[in-house]
Structure 1
Amino acid sequence: MVDKNHQIKYYEDLLERHGDTFLSLDWNSQDSQKLRFKIFADLVKMFDNNKISVLDVGCGFGDFYAYFERQNYKFSYMGYDVSPKILSIAKKKYPKASFELYNIMEDKNFKKYDFVFCSGALNICFDSREEHLKIIHSMLIRMYELCNIAVGVNFLSSQALYYVKEEDLINKQYFYTKVEDVLPCVRSLTGRYVVRHDYHPGDFTIYLMKRS
């Protein structure tokens, strides 16, 4: 399992350099961040989206809450993150939202939410490829346990390696996921899933829907 303290230090070092910006969450741009949020919103549109509950795993500054609010959904929002400093900013930015310092793999809270989302939190590799894949599988299982309707999670795509800077390949900072590496775990959980590899050449999203 990933060293949580290493993970916290990574993002809080970025926060110290970049402040309250998308760069502190290791996004390339605000536009790419919003595009991923839109793909999550597409999942919600597939269902009755009146008065839904949303869990944002690895919520960062809570910007997904702001995006969802602009879509005029009636929803309750909970954001989980492991960084106290980042959560402190999120709480100040969005006082109407709820945030908790929480690790879903360590803290066994069984409260369920209609939709569970995870954007970007699985893109940074702190271990070997084999161990990181185990973390991804464990996270998928846990998030599926916590949802009533569906899970949405995105990954950096291995098919976009030609976009990658040489230094990123050398230091192995980012994890580029193969769809076929996560599908066996997805299929073990549900036969109702969608792979979205149509919105960005360097990214894909998987929807895992509860069996009806």
Structure 2
Amino acid sequence: MNIIDKAVMNSYHDMRVKEFGEGTVEALGWLDKTSQLSRFAMLAGIGDMNNHSVLDVGCGYGDLREYLGERYPDLHYSGLDQAGAFLAVASERYQLPNTTFLLGDFFTAELPHTDYVLLSGSLNYKSSDPDFIYKMISKLFNACEIACGFNLLSKINDPGGILMAYDPDKIMNHCLTLTDNVVLHNQYCDGDFTVWMYRK
């Protein structure tokens, strides 16, 4: 993403915060809490995260920390986001053991290696780089020691807006160039799909 892409994305979230309020799932771009949780449920099934490190890329308000913690109480969680305002809410909301929030531009910064790398919703924005999505998937997978999981949109209501839809088959084809152990889930939510990629 270039500086213009990022400015458009930041403006979009500023507008959502003004409309829906700071700390809401709608401010992050989700339709509602149910929409957010349906994605979290798919990511949480990628593997047993107890006693493992987890990197939540584009963590927003850190809500995935709470969701995963209820299922894997012994996980070690790090949330990374480029929006300081989001992280301020996350840090106040989730003052939990083995929990760290990091400020950084995950599009350009080197990602810390962790057992599980997860991403929910943060790759749904349009980019001026047609290969952006493939570069990011490779980057996410290279940072994981066990598995990487992410979700993408397969359908959008406003093609002229900020969001981007992807063909699951094309995404799968790219993932299979990185590992032959890839699982696609696309029956849980209309217009959305989740990919699990494993090292072994």
1:51 matched to 2:51? The reply is: yes
Aligned length: 195
Distance 2:69 2:137 in 1: 26
Contact 1:118–1:152 (Cα < 8 Å) also in 2: yes
Preserved contact between residue 55 and residue 117 of structure 2 (Cα < 8 Å): yes
State the distance in 1 between where 2:101 and 2:9 align.
18
- Normalised by the size of structure 1, how large is the TM-score? 0.85
Tell whether the 8 Å contact from 2:58 to 2:122 is kept in structure 1 after alignment.
yes
Alignment partner, residue 26 of structure 2: 23
TM-aligned CA distance change 1:81 to 1:29, over 3 Å: same
1:33-59, Cα deviation, whole Å (9 max, x unpaired): 1111111111124xxx33011100110
The residue matched to 1:74 in structure 2 has which SS? coil
Residue 71, structure 1, aligned to residue 71, structure 2? yes
3-state SS, counterpart of residue 151 of structure 2: strand
Query: What amino acid is the match of 1:184?
Result: N
Counterpart of 1:61 in structure 2 is 61
- Counterpart amino acid of residue 29 in structure 1: D
Contact 2:58 2:106 in 1 (8 A): no
1:8 maps to 10
| Equivalent residue number for residue 157 of structure 1 | 154
The aligned runs of 1:21-170 (5 Å cut-off) are 21-45=24-48, 49-96=49-96, 97-109=99-111, 111-127=112-128, 131=129, 133-158=130-155, 164=157, 168-169=158-159
Tell me whether 135-144 or 6-15 shows the greater mean CA deviation.
6-15
Residue 27 of structure 2: SS of its match in structure 1? Answer: helix
TM-fit CA distance, 1:126: 4.4
How far, CA to CA, are the matches of 1:199 and 1:150 in structure 2?
A: 20
Query: Letter of the aligned partner of 1:10 in structure 2?
Result: Y
Q: Is the 8 Å Cα contact of residues 152 and 192 (structure 2) preserved in structure 1?
A: yes
RMSD: 1.7
Structure 1 consecutive aligned stretches of length 4 or more whose deviation exceeds 6 Å: none
Structure 2 length as normaliser, TM-score? Answer: 0.90
Q: Deviations over 1:140-180 (max 9, x none)?
A: 1111111000010101113xx5xx2xxx23x2322111012
Gaps in structure 2 of 5+ consecutive residues: none
| Unpaired runs of at least 5, structure 1 | none
Matched position secondary structure for 1:51 = coil
Amino acid at match of 2:87: L
Partners of 1:139 and 1:86 in 2: CA distance: 21
Q: Which amino acid aligns with 1:106?
A: T
Shift of 1:185: 1.8
Once residues 106 and 173 of structure 1 are traced to their aligned partners in structure 2, the CA distance between those partners, rounded to angstroms, is: 20
1:25, distance to aligned residue in structure 2 (A): 0.6
Asked if the contact 1:7/1:126 (under 8 Å) is kept, the reply is no
